[in-house]
A and B are shown apart, each in its own frame.
Chain A
Amino acid sequence: MRLTCPHCGPRGLEEFSYRGDATVRRPSLEAPEEDWIAYVYLRDNPCGAHKELWYHGSGCRAWLVVERNTLTHAVHSVNAVSVEDAP
Chain B
Amino acid sequence: MSRSLFRGLAQAGGRAFRHGGGNGIDTDRQIRFTFDGTSYVGHPGDTLASALLANGVRLVGRSFKYHRPRGLLSAGPEEPNALVELRQGPWREPNTRATVAELFDGLVASSQNRWPSLAVDALGVNGLFSPVFTAGFYYKTFMWPASFWEKVYEPIIRRAAGLGRAAEEADPDRYEKSNAFCDVLVVGAGPAGLSAALAAAQSGVQVILCEQDSLAGGRLRCDATLIDGRPGWMWAQDAERRLSEMPNVRIMTRSCVFARYDGGTYGVLERVSDHLATPQDGQPRQRLWRVVAKQCVVATGGIERPIIFPNNDRPGIMLAASVRTYINRFGVVPGRRVIVYTNNSDGLRTVADLQRAGARVVAIVEASAHPSKAAQDLASRSGAKLFANATIANTFGRLGVTAAVIRDNYGKEHRLGCDLIAVSGGWSPDIALTTHHGTRPVYRDDIAAFVPAPNAANQDLHVAGVASGVMTDRDAFESGLAAGYLAAGKTGCGDGREQTLTSPSVVDEAYDIIPVWHGLDAENMRRAGKAFVDFQNDVTAKDVRLAAQEGFQSVEHLKRYTTLGMATDQGKTANVNALALLAEITGRTIPQTGTTLIRPPVQPVALGALAGAHRGKHFKPHRLPPTHRWAEEQGAVFTDNGLWRRAQWYPRAGESNWLETVNREVQTVRNGVGFCDVTTLGKIDLQGPDVRTFLDRLYVNAWQKLPVGRARYGLMLREDGFVFDDGTTARLSENHYVMTTTTAKAASVMQHLEFCHQCLWPELDVQFISVTDEWAQIAVAGPRSRDVIRQIVDPEFDLSNEAFGYMAAAEVTVYGGINARLFRLSFSGELAYEIAVPARYGDSLARQLMRVGAPYGIAPYGTEALGVMRIEKGHPAGPELNGQTTAHDLGMGRMLSTKKDFIGRRMAQREALTDPARATLVGLQPLLPDAPLVSGAHLLPKGAEATAASDQGWIASSAWSPTVGSWIGLGFLQNGPARLGEVLSVHNPLAGTVTEARVVSSVFVDPEGTRLHG
Contacts of B290 on A, CB cut-off 8 Å? 12
Given the known inter-chain contacts A83-B762, A86-B760, please indicate yes or no for A29 contacting B906, CB distance below 8 A: yes
Decide: A63 and B754 in contact? CB cutoff 8 A. Answer: yes
Interface 1/0s, chain A 54-87, versus B by CB < 8 A? 0101000111000000001111000011110111
Decide: A40 and B910 in contact? CB cutoff 8 A. Answer: no
A75 to B751, CA, bound (A): 23
Q: Among the listed A10, A17, A39, A81, which residue makes an inter-chain contact with B759, where contact means beta carbons less than 8 Å apart?
A: A81
- Closest-by-CB residue of B relative to A75 is B263
- Is B719 an interface residue, CB under 8 A from the partner? yes
Q: Among the listed A10, A40, A82, A86, which residue makes an inter-chain contact with B720, where contact means beta carbons less than 8 Å apart?
A: A40
Decide: A1 and B901 in contact? CB cutoff 8 A. Answer: no
Decide: A87 and B759 in contact? CB cutoff 8 A. Answer: yes
A81 to B263, CA, bound (A): 22
A29 to B755, CA, bound (A): 19
Interface residues of A in 14-47 (CB under 8 A from B): 17, 19, 26-29, 31, 33, 36, 39-41
- Is A2 an interface residue, CB under 8 A from the partner? yes
Decide: B457 and A72 in contact? CB cutoff 8 A. Answer: yes
Contacts of B720 on A, CB cut-off 8 Å? 40-41
Interface 1/0s, chain B 260-279, versus A by CB < 8 A? 01111100000000000000
Q: Among the listed B264, B437, B907, which residue makes an inter-chain contact with A40, where contact means beta carbons less than 8 Å apart?
A: B907
Interface residues of B in 744-785 (CB under 8 A from A): 747, 751, 754-755, 758-760, 762-763
Given the known inter-chain contacts A29-B905, A86-B759, please indicate yes or no for A1 contacting B262, CB distance below 8 A: yes
- Is B298 an interface residue, CB under 8 A from the partner? no
Decide: A33 and B265 in contact? CB cutoff 8 A. Answer: no
A1 to B50, CA, bound (A): 40
Q: Among the listed A2, A63, A74, which residue makes an inter-chain contact with B758, where contact means beta carbons less than 8 Å apart?
A: A63
A87 to B380, CA, bound (A): 80
Given the known inter-chain contacts A2-B292, A75-B263, please indicate yes or no for A86 contacting B754, CB distance below 8 A: no
Minimum Cβ distance to chain B for residue A47 (Å):
12
Decide: A86 and B263 in contact? CB cutoff 8 A. Answer: no
Contacts of A29 on B, CB cut-off 8 Å? 901, 905-906
Given the known inter-chain contacts A33-B910, A57-B751, please indicate yes or no for A2 contacting B901, CB distance below 8 A: no
Contacts of A17 on B, CB cut-off 8 Å? 751
Contacts of A57 on B, CB cut-off 8 Å? 747, 751
- Is A5 an interface residue, CB under 8 A from the partner? no
Interface residues of B in 710-729 (CB under 8 A from A): 719-720
Contacts of A85 on B, CB cut-off 8 Å? 759
Decide: B263 and A2 in contact? CB cutoff 8 A. Answer: yes
A36 to B910, CA, bound (A): 11
A40 to B754, CA, bound (A): 18
Decide: A63 and B759 in contact? CB cutoff 8 A. Answer: yes
Decide: A1 and B906 in contact? CB cutoff 8 A. Answer: no
A12 to B261, CA, bound (A): 11
Decide: A36 and B754 in contact? CB cutoff 8 A. Answer: no
A29 to B226, CA, bound (A): 80
Contacts of B754 on A, CB cut-off 8 Å? 55, 61, 63
Interface centre among A53, A80, A86 (most CB of B within 10 A): A86
Decide: B751 and A2 in contact? CB cutoff 8 A. Answer: no
Minimum Cβ distance to chain A for residue B719 (Å):
5
A74 to B456, CA, bound (A): 11
Q: How many residues of B contact A (CB 8 A)?
A: 25
Decide: A1 and B762 in contact? CB cutoff 8 A. Answer: no
- Closest-by-CB residue of A relative to B769 is A61
- Closest-by-CB residue of A relative to B902 is A29
A40 to B759, CA, bound (A): 15
Contacts of A81 on B, CB cut-off 8 Å? 758-759, 762
- Closest-by-CB residue of A relative to B758 is A63
Decide: B906 and A86 in contact? CB cutoff 8 A. Answer: no
Interface centre among B719, B751, B906, B910 (most CB of A within 10 A): B906
Contacts of A83 on B, CB cut-off 8 Å? 762-763
A29 to B261, CA, bound (A): 43
Decide: B263 and A1 in contact? CB cutoff 8 A. Answer: yes
Contacts of B747 on A, CB cut-off 8 Å? 57
- Closest-by-CB residue of A relative to B755 is A63
Minimum Cβ distance to chain B for residue A86 (Å):
5
Contacts of A72 on B, CB cut-off 8 Å? 437, 457
A68 to B79, CA, bound (A): 40
Given the known inter-chain contacts A29-B901, A29-B905, A33-B910, please indicate yes or no for A74 contacting B751, CB distance below 8 A: no
Decide: B719 and A40 in contact? CB cutoff 8 A. Answer: yes
Contacts of B755 on A, CB cut-off 8 Å? 19, 53, 55, 63
Minimum Cβ distance to chain B for residue A60 (Å):
10
Decide: A12 and B265 in contact? CB cutoff 8 A. Answer: yes
Given the known inter-chain contacts A17-B751, A29-B906, A63-B754, please indicate yes or no for A1 contacting B759, CB distance below 8 A: no
Contacts of B719 on A, CB cut-off 8 Å? 26, 39-40
A36 to B976, CA, bound (A): 30
Interface residues of B in 887-935 (CB under 8 A from A): 901, 905-907, 910
Decide: B751 and A87 in contact? CB cutoff 8 A. Answer: no
Decide: B760 and A87 in contact? CB cutoff 8 A. Answer: yes
A55 to B748, CA, bound (A): 11
Q: Among the listed A26, A31, A74, which residue makes an inter-chain contact with B457, where contact means beta carbons less than 8 Å apart?
A: A74
- Closest-by-CB residue of B relative to A61 is B754
A82 to B263, CA, bound (A): 25
Decide: A1 and B751 in contact? CB cutoff 8 A. Answer: no
Minimum Cβ distance to chain B for residue A58 (Å):
11
Contacts of A27 on B, CB cut-off 8 Å? 906
Decide: B262 and A73 in contact? CB cutoff 8 A. Answer: yes
Q: Among the listed A2, A26, A41, which residue makes an inter-chain contact with B264, where contact means beta carbons less than 8 Å apart?
A: A2
Minimum Cβ distance to chain B for residue A10 (Å):
8
Minimum Cβ distance to chain A for residue B541 (Å):
37
A82 to B290, CA, bound (A): 33
Decide: B265 and A2 in contact? CB cutoff 8 A. Answer: yes
A33 to B261, CA, bound (A): 42
A26 to B758, CA, bound (A): 13
Interface residues of B in 734-751 (CB under 8 A from A): 747, 751
Decide: B265 and A1 in contact? CB cutoff 8 A. Answer: yes
A73 to B760, CA, bound (A): 27
Contacts of B762 on A, CB cut-off 8 Å? 81-83, 86
A9 to B762, CA, bound (A): 23
Decide: B262 and A2 in contact? CB cutoff 8 A. Answer: yes
A55 to B907, CA, bound (A): 25
Contacts of A63 on B, CB cut-off 8 Å? 754-755, 758-759
A3 to B754, CA, bound (A): 19
A39 to B755, CA, bound (A): 15
Decide: A55 and B751 in contact? CB cutoff 8 A. Answer: yes
A85 to B901, CA, bound (A): 21
Contacts of B901 on A, CB cut-off 8 Å? 28-29
Minimum Cβ distance to chain B for residue A49 (Å):
14
Interface residues of B in 274-297 (CB under 8 A from A): 290, 292
- Closest-by-CB residue of B relative to A69 is B457
Minimum Cβ distance to chain A for residue B752 (Å):
10
Minimum Cβ distance to chain A for residue B479 (Å):
25
Given the known inter-chain contacts A29-B906, A36-B907, A55-B751, please indicate yes or no for A73 contacting B437, CB distance below 8 A: yes
- Closest-by-CB residue of A relative to B439 is A72
A87 to B757, CA, bound (A): 11
Contacts of A33 on B, CB cut-off 8 Å? 906, 910
Contacts of B264 on A, CB cut-off 8 Å? 2
Contacts of A40 on B, CB cut-off 8 Å? 719-720, 907
Contacts A12-B290, A73-B263, A86-B762 known; 17 new A-B pairs at CB < 8 A: A1-B265, A10-B263, A10-B292, A26-B719, A27-B906, A33-B906, A40-B720, A40-B907, A53-B759, A55-B751, A55-B754, A55-B755, A72-B457, A74-B457, A81-B762, A86-B760, A87-B759
Give A residues with C-beta under 8 Å from B.
Answer: 1-3, 10, 12-13, 17, 19, 26-29, 31, 33, 36, 39-41, 53, 55, 57, 61-63, 72-75, 80-83, 85-87
Could you show 17 A-B contacts with beta carbons less than 8 Å apart? Answer: A2-B265, A3-B263, A26-B760, A29-B901, A29-B905, A29-B906, A33-B906, A33-B910, A40-B720, A40-B907, A41-B720, A55-B751, A55-B754, A73-B437, A80-B758, A81-B759, A86-B762
Closest 3 CB pairs of A and B: A2-B263, A1-B262, A63-B758
